[in-house]
Amino acid sequence: MEIALVALGSRGDIQPYLALGLGLQAAGHSVRLVSARNEAAFVEAHGLGFRALDVDVRQLLDQGAVGDTRGSNNPIRFFWRTLRPPAEVRRLQVAVQEGIAAACAGADVLVYHPGMGLPFFLAQAAGQLSVLASPFPLLPTAAYPAILFYRGQKLGALANRLTHYLFDRMFWAFSKAMVRAYWRQQAAPARFGTSAVQQHWQSGQPVLLGYSARLFAPDPAWGPHAHTTGAWALPPDQDFRPSPALAAFLEAGEPPLYIGFGSMKQEDAASLLALLAEALRRSGQRAVVGLGWSRTDADQPLPSSMLLVESVPHTWLFPRTKAVVHHGGAGTVHAGLAAGRPTVVVPHQADQPAWGQRVFELGVGSRPIPREKLTAENLAAAIAYALQPAVVERARALGQLLAAENGVERAVAAIEQAWRLREPAH
């Protein structure tokens, strides 16, 4: 099969699709990952084909074009901000659709992130198989609220279904305008009243849900074309070697914490470092700190309890820590839990509060602390909670279960099965 995977966003957004692509390639398929040009070196270093879209997500974030995330734990406020991007971002959104269409041409199968609706319509028009691949819960159920609204509350079946309806409409509103603008240029018919996700779901084509059923249980009513596979995680990097500073820090005492917020831009990284230093002092811990895409020019002395690092593979670092503190991105949550480490989530936006809530409900970490409410005091308290022996043991036990799952293998099998069912028609 010729397979195109389409995903756009931060490094954390892209990495699950890279892992899935590598699994498909290992199974003998020709694979291309379609994403922002700033991810080219990262993807190609792993040996996967890459088609660059004419956008640099990291540059947009560094320039502040995407906007800040303060208060974005509120789902309505978060989506209101995403629906009102700067004019520069809106122009890019429409232009990127042409790049997606060109990159998907000639593929047999289009696998796409739910935020990228165009591949569904491209596949429908060209007779290609489309596969909706989501790293977060997406399908409606009466059992729990939609992930954007999930806070551990008991809403009841009817209210839960209502949140799924609202989430679908809001999520589709984000991409509908740019997809429709491209489609009108092609003078091709398409139905845009119903979301791409709903149209895909109703078509009976595969839906892959790239997280563990132990975190969000699948609904039996979804049927056989919905596959909760487990997370799509990259294999450990056998060639990684830590810097001398990191190796020395790890050897200098008991295992440290990991603290990092990925691609979540911090408006004042220097103040954040000071907050983290005080939280570590209060809790009596050390930490490896990754600032991700944030930058600080502050020439401030850091205590010996902190080591700043650039990118370090989570699969290598997390097993060498005693707990992890992070923003709650789906991939980072899985990496920490699969390593068997208790977790403190500091959600910034979108689905991150839901993952933080599930960590707490499963008893493998503290209550989530919204970024805008983070203080040295409550972070120190959360760290102490996460390091309780009972929490540590539950995290270890869950880690063994998650580490045994092979989400990539199951996802590859689901795609191949769907292709075999279509093959007589080709």
What does the alpha-carbon distance between residue 342 and residue 279 come to, in Å, rounded to a whole number? Answer: 17
What does the alpha-carbon distance between residue 107 and residue 116 come to, in Å, rounded to a whole number? Answer: 17
pLDDT of 67:
45
- What does 57-125 look like in DSSP terms, one character per residue? HHHHHHTTTT---TTTTSHHHHHHHHTS--HHHHHHHHHHHHHHHHHHTT-SEEEE-TT--HHHHHHHH
Q: Are residues 153 and 219 in the same domain?
A: yes
Q: Are residues 421 and 358 in the same domain?
A: no
SS3 24: helix
Backbone φ, ψ for residue 210 (5° rounding): -90, 60
239 belongs to a structural domain = no
CATH number of the domain that residue 217 is part of: 3.40.50.2000
Q: Whole domain around residue 254: which residue ranges? A: 244-404
Residue 63: how many other CB atoms lie within 10 Å: 11
Q: Are residues 216 and 271 in the same domain?
A: no
What does the alpha-carbon distance between residue 200 and residue 410 come to, in Å, rounded to a whole number? Answer: 20
pLDDT of 399:
97
SS3 84: coil
pLDDT of 65:
45
Selection from 419, 417, 409 nearest residue 22 by Cα: 409
Checking if the pLDDT of 60 tops 70, the result is no
Could you tell me what percent of the chain has a pLDDT over 70? 85
Q: Are residues 274 and 256 in the same domain?
A: yes
Q: What is the mean pLDDT of residues 240-267?
A: 87
Q: What is the mean pLDDT of residues 65-75?
A: 50
pLDDT of 410:
97
The DSSP H or E segment spanning 344 is: strand 343-345
Q: How many domains does the chain have?
A: 2
Checking if the pLDDT of 71 tops 60, the result is no
Q: Are residues 264 and 413 in the same domain?
A: no
pLDDT of 108:
95
pLDDT of 294:
52
pLDDT tens digit string along 151-185? 888 889 999 999 999 999 888 887 787 788 777 77
Q: How confident is the model at residue 301 (pLDDT cuts 50, 70, 90)?
A: confident
pLDDT of 292:
63
Q: Are residues 110 and 258 in the same domain?
A: no
98 belongs to a structural domain = yes
Query: If you ran DSSP here, which 8-state letter would residue 309 be given?
Result: E
pLDDT of 267:
65
pLDDT tens digit string along 319-361? 999 999 999 999 999 999 999 999 999 998 888 999 999 999 9
**Which region, left, alpha or beta, applies to residue 17 given φ > 0 means left and ψ of -120 to 50 means alpha?**
alpha
333, 273 contact by CB (below 8 A): no
Paired tokens of 237: 């990097």
Q: Give the start-end residues of each E strand in 113-198.
A: 129-134
14, 43 contact by CB (below 8 A): yes
Checking if the pLDDT of 58 tops 70, the result is no
pLDDT tens digit string along 93-147? 667 888 999 999 999 999 999 988 899 999 988 889 999 999 999 999 999 999 9
Q: Are residues 258 and 223 in the same domain?
A: no
The DSSP H or E segment spanning 399 is: helix 389-404
Average per-residue pLDDT for the chain: 87
Q: Are residues 201 and 214 in the same domain?
A: yes
**Residue holding tokens 């810097």?**
243
- The pTM of this model reads 0.89
Paired tokens of 306: 């902190």
Query: Residue-wise over 320-340: b if at least 16 C-beta within 10 A, else e?
Result: bbbbbbbbbbbbbbbbbbbbb
Query: If you ran DSSP here, which 8-state letter would residue 123 be given?
Result: H
Backbone φ, ψ for residue 134 (5° rounding): -120, 130
**Which region, left, alpha or beta, applies to residue 2 given φ > 0 means left and ψ of -120 to 50 means alpha?**
beta
Could you tell me what percent of the chain has a pLDDT over 90? 63
Paired tokens of 421: 């069912």
pLDDT of 179:
83
What does the alpha-carbon distance between residue 174 and residue 178 come to, in Å, rounded to a whole number? Answer: 8
